Amino acid sequence: MKTEFKSAIILGILIAGGIVGISVVFSTFETQEFTSSNADSKLNIQSIDKSKFKKAPELVGISGYINTTPEELKEKIKDKVVLYDIWTYSCINCVRTLPFITAWDEKYSDQGLLIIGIHSPEFEFEKDISNVQMAVAKNGIKYPVVLDNDWETWKAFDNRYWPHKFIADHEGYLRYDHIGEGGYEETEKVIQELLKERATQLGLQTTEAQSLVNIDEFEHTNFRTPELYLGYSLASGRNQIGNQEGFNPEKEIQYITPQNLRENYFYMDGTWKNLDESMQLVSNNGGITLQYFAKEVNIVTANEAELSIFIDDKPITLTLLGDDLDSDGKILIKDDGLYNIVNTDEAESHVLKIFVNKPNFEIFAFTFG
């Protein structure tokens, strides 16, 4: 029994020693893998199969350049991670993304990120470079913006939406894209990863892990009035004019607002000319009425006029006052573009009335948040 007991003890010691030895071996493997992660990362990056990725197309059909020149842009783009932002300045969804994009430009441009704004206009007045220049200055855009007035670059990207962000790595392969608002954290993480990949492949010093840009994101309501177009061509298939006269292409029509209103339909009052992109006021004054549900109402307009805004047949109150209205609930339209006329914290249902005091005023669209 004593001999057997001693043998058991010796055997136990040998087994324990073996386990410890194995643990040390695995521990060593883990330590080696961790400490050599930079080399491993470089190896993994170099072995990425990019055959499944498309190359970013050339910028084609560009009619104007802001914050750059063709020659300068051609040089800047070399070996850069490039974020292509397809946008247009009267699109509220595009405008809401700009604080994030300008913040990324400021944060990462020195690390190898180049942002290019591809301005593909929705409306004719957005083709005017002076209008785009004003929008660029208003939104604090310092990165290059190119005017894609004939949508040739839009088509080259096979695009269908505003806004749409594409990110190409430093070799020009498209590695990520995002449609619409949101996805800001995900997008910024992709930027960081591709900048790290670039630094590794080019033998540059990598930066430490960085926190993400901290900006409050606009919170949409789940149910709200849909975007409304007032031009007969753009409204095709989503006709929301409530007047019985309806759309009459290229004709001047005298509209009268009925007593009974349908929610999410707009009603014209006065004489308006039906244009393919807009309604243009012909009479000395006129109005537009809309029963909506949203927390934010924006309009896209052109040509000078003064608008007075009423809610539920009363002058708009301070609690509903849009960012572009004065304290009296009026707005002076000077520049062609987007204006915010209602802004509240929660979605509400109201009857909005806009009174216009000057002929030639044009209204293109209503958008909501």
Decide which of 36 and 320 is more confident.
320
Residue 245 in contact with residue 271, Cβ under 8 Å? no
pLDDT at residue 35 greater than cutoff 50: no
Residue 66 in contact with residue 136, Cβ under 8 Å? yes
Report the percent of the chain where pLDDT is more than 70.
Answer: 87
Tell me the fold of 228-368. Answer: Jelly Rolls (2.60.120)
Candidates 226, 212, 276; CA nearest to 93 is 226
Report the percent of the chain where pLDDT is more than 90.
Answer: 82
Decide which of 337 and 34 is more confident.
337
Identity of the amino acid at 187? T
Segment 204-225, tens digit of pLDDT: 987 777 899 999 999 988 899 9
Binning pLDDT at 50, 70 and 90, where does residue 174 land?
Answer: very high
Average pLDDT over residues 326-349: 96
Report the distance separating Cα 95 and Cα 141, nearest Å. Answer: 11
Q: Which residues of the chain form CATH 2.60.120.260?
A: 228-368
Residue 167 in contact with residue 176, Cβ under 8 Å? yes
The Cα-based distances of 7 to 112, 142, 222, 284, 361 in angstroms read: 67, 80, 75, 111, 103
Kindly report which listed range (97-106, 177-186, 211-220) carries the lowest average pLDDT score.
211-220
Q: What class does CATH assign to 50-202?
A: alpha beta
Q: Which residues of the chain form CATH 3.40.30.10?
A: 50-202
Average pLDDT over residues 39-63: 75
DSSP annotation of 8: H
Report the distance separating Cα 69 and Cα 59, nearest Å. Answer: 13
CB atoms within 10 A of CB 336: 22
Residue 44 in contact with residue 36, Cβ under 8 Å? no
SS3 59: coil
Average pLDDT over residues 75-104: 98
